[in-house]
A and B are shown apart, each in its own frame.
Chain A
Amino acid sequence: MLLNQFLLLAAVLFCIGVYGVISRRNGVMVLMSIELILNSVNLNLVAFSAMTGAVSGQVFALFVIAVAAAEVGVGLAIVLAIFRTYRSVDLDQVDLMKG
């Protein structure tokens, strides 16, 4: 197996995630796209770990999974607070701090 096939798959997933973060209006959907991005990074880390034979890549993939769990918890709490305030999760309506 080539190393590049995993890296290119991760790059494709990363770009789809970036597109989702930019183009989605729903707060929950933006969080899902961020999960896509973090997951593609994990794929890269594990692929390099398999390439070099060092386990550091896998350890960092585990750390990324833990940080992703924390991020989803806080992110969904924020989306919930936005929903309580605005009665909607449409991020275009959240413009209180817009100049």
Chain B
Amino acid sequence: MKVDEAPNPLAEGLHDYRIADPAVMVIFGATGDLSGRKLLPALYNLAKQRSLPAGFAVVGAAMNELSDDDFRKHASDKIHEFSRTQPIDGRVLDAFLSSVSYVKVDFGQLDDFKTLAKKLQQLDDANHVPGNRIFYCATPPPTYQTIALQLQASGLNKGEGYHRIVVEKPFGSDLQSARELTQTLQKVFAEDSVYRIDHYLGKETVQNILAFRFANSIFEPVWNTNLIDSVQITVAEEIGIEQRGAYYDRAGALRDIIQNHGLQLVTLTAMEPPLAFEAGAVRDEKVKVLRSIRPLIGEDIEQSTVRGQYAAGWVLGEQVVGYRDEQNVAPDSQTETFAALRLFVDNWRWAGVPFYIRAGKRMPKRVTEIRIQFKRPPHLTFGREAMKEVDPNAITLRIQPEEGISLKFGAKVPSAGLRIRSVTMDFEYVTSFLVEAPEAYERLLLDCMIGDPTLFTRADEVEAAWTLVDPIENAWRNGRPPLGTYPAGSWGPDTAAQLLQGDGREWHRP
């Protein structure tokens, strides 16, 4: 191994300190909501943790006519408003802002990209940066392809150093559009330089699913069809669609949540142990799960899926309107705000184990959890009467809120007789560590700077997910199964309960 390929020996032992090379990050859509709420505060917090190296620079790029100072003022305001850590440290902020500049870029104007290129070259020269670039598309998805092609046309995708592009979900609206997007991005950048960000994977508790499964030896031996009866995944929100009516009415719960978050949770729950926690191995295993999921086609879709839309009702004590009365929603909208699926992962480990996924808006509360339901003991040693209050064992992985893990098991009730009752053993992150987890964007931005795509979505993963979802989406657009309704503040339409009742099961109430 040559010296310049070897690990940096001075970095050994610096726990949790991951060193990124100096680079320039260009934020397209720098004056927008994502940039202001998430990206700029995350970068400030990385600076505060000393994770931004000397020579790192941020260039805001947007349509607005702004000077560098105008943009710095904008960035400062957003950081003050949205930073996870408060109060803001003036000296850290000043140092960070000194590395921030702005270029007006109209995505349709090649000349603007050429101006941007000149600016980046100046920064490289001043900062001893060998051309490392990250292009972050904090812009609406329809602009991704335009930006990528303009980067190509202006030569910004080539040269010394690395050149990475970051795009936010959704990655297309169906299989065809996802493929088109991938083709364009891959025309301009190598696949390993495309970072598809789904901030969900940056959450500590989502990553902990892998730690729970693969850092402990006691769970894997029971994590299969021999002992597991079923898996339930719930992604529930108490909020409605807020200001996103125009987008949501085109997307619906299936595309907005199930296609990405829901299937991500399925893959993390069902995947085989990767060889190592590194990008290739982890993502290979996730894709294998997606490809092992039995496709729902024809009548399967009517029997194994449920869609619903919320009507007026009460949520957390507040009266709310029905979906069709929300702003920017068609009065006769057929868009689902609730989706539930029954899936089977057709492989050795999971043969015959149903995975029930549900996601919805205007549910009684905000909760995301994975429940692993175990089979009943093969023999009732203590008799039916003693066991009547005992549920089967279950492990619940709570993603949010109250992040933690619960194990449910039977224990003898203290009494002269022999009566067994279900009890839970709880692990809560907050009480075990009591330290604040970093924002998902801090983790993911640093991963991108370091060049670690483990927590980003690969093209084949995106396509595999759309391959599963597209037939369902098409059937739903044709009214199969019919759209049910549910009162806001409930757990979905009656057909959702019936989906499990038909299997002799019921939804766990989170």
The answer to whether A and B interact is no
